[in-house]
Amino acid sequence: MTEDEKSETTDEAGVATEAKADAETSSEAGETQMPEAETPDIKTPDTQTPDTEKNAQAEEAEAAPSLEDRLADTNDQLLRALAELENTRRRADRDRAEALKYGAASFARDMLGVADNLQRALNAVAELDQETLPDAAKSLLEGVAATERDLIASMGRHKVSPVSPMGEKFDPNMHEAMFEAPGTGQPAGTIIEVIETGYMMDERLLRPAKVGIAKDE
């Protein structure tokens, strides 16, 4: 082989070596500079159509109470509150009036026992011969009778009145039957005897009259 041929062979080998080196360098550069792949944005499609949105808005409007409905409800609640307030006021007025009217009922009921004792004393003396009574007894009797009159008058000023239903029809709301007697010649249920006088305070019964009534033959 001549020197020229050796030189050409050497040059070709060098070119091949440089080409291979350039290829490897380009390959490494490509691997280094390759950008990362970007994830594309995926948008969720809007599934609501204009009609669907309108329907949803209409349903919400129907479900929500209107201003007129709210005003009507508020007005109804106000009227109910005013009515309850008026009822409370009336009850308070009635209770106050009854307290003034019947406030002395308990005291008057206690005084009935005093009136009963005075009446019993007078009834017992009435069975005696008045002519045979000494003057002191007669004076005492007159004093007892005056006391009874004053007591009855005082109770009358407070609207307490006696109930003596002799000969009247028996009323279980006003009278208390103590016995029944046949053969009286009176219709059944007629009061034939008043054992204990009853009393009223205005329109309220303080004590029922204890009575005896006629019975069927």
Angle at 215 between CA 209 and CA 217, to 5 degrees: 165
Position 54 scores a pLDDT of: 64
Position 193 scores a pLDDT of: 94
Residue 36 class from Cβ within 10 Å (0-12 exposed, 13-18 middle, 19+ buried)?
A: exposed
* pLDDT at residue 168 greater than cutoff 80: yes
Position 195 scores a pLDDT of: 92
Tens digits of residue pLDDT in 63-94: 666 788 888 888 889 899 888 888 888 888 88
**Which range (44-48, 117-121, 182-186) has the least confidence?**
44-48
Contact indicator for 182, 217 with CB cutoff of 8 Å: yes
Work out the pLDDT band at 97, boundaries 50, 70, 90.
confident
Q: How far apart are CA 166 and CA 175, in angstroms?
A: 11
Percent with pLDDT over 70 in the chain? 69
**Which range (30-44, 129-143, 155-169, 181-195) has the least confidence?**
30-44
Residue 207, both tokens: 């004590």
Position 124 scores a pLDDT of: 84
Enter the pTM of the model: 0.54
* Cα 115 to Cα 37, 136, 177, 212, distances in angstroms: 119, 23, 21, 21
3-class DSSP assignment, residue 41: coil
- Look at the domain 101-214 and name its fold: Nucleotide Exchange Factor Grpe; Chain A, domain 2 (2.30.22)
Position 30 scores a pLDDT of: 47
Position 42 scores a pLDDT of: 54
Contact indicator for 216, 187 with CB cutoff of 8 Å: no
Q: What are phi and psi of 206, to 5 degrees?
A: -80, -40
For every residue of 85-136, DSSP letters joined together read HHHHHHHHHHHHHHHHHHTTHHHHHHHHHHHHHHHHHHHHHHTS-GGGS-HH
What integer is the mean pLDDT of 118-144? Answer: 84
Q: Give me the chain's average pLDDT, please.
A: 78
Q: How far apart are CA 50 and CA 189, in angstroms?
A: 90
Position 178 scores a pLDDT of: 96
